[in-house]
Amino acid sequence: MSVLSDRDIIRELGKGRVFHPLKPASIKASDLCLTASEYAYAIGLKKCLPIDKEAKQDNPNQEQKFFYIPPKDTTLVWTDESLWLSNLF
């Protein structure tokens, strides 16, 4: 197994790998960045986690959304992107 560069990632997209929606800023040196959605589920608590909001420090007119992951729990976080990999590899 090897690490793909940003150019390798771009070249490989569509060849058994689909990442949608692809935002150009999502491609970094050797990874594709995922954006957390507003949906998270704590498996141990068996419930969805509430979304908290606070003003951004650098711009008080904008809100920053986040959720707290309970200690010693596993949390599923939905992303705004979808990733599909072919089973032919």
Domain map (residue ranges) of the chain: 1-33, 34-80
pTM greater than 0.75: no
Q: Residue 15 CB: number of other CB atoms within 10 A? A: 10
For the chain, give the percent of residues with pLDDT over 70: 96
- Distance (Å, whole) CA 66 – CA 55: 11
Spans of the chain, pLDDT less than 50: none
pLDDT attached to residue 89: 52
pLDDT attached to residue 88: 66
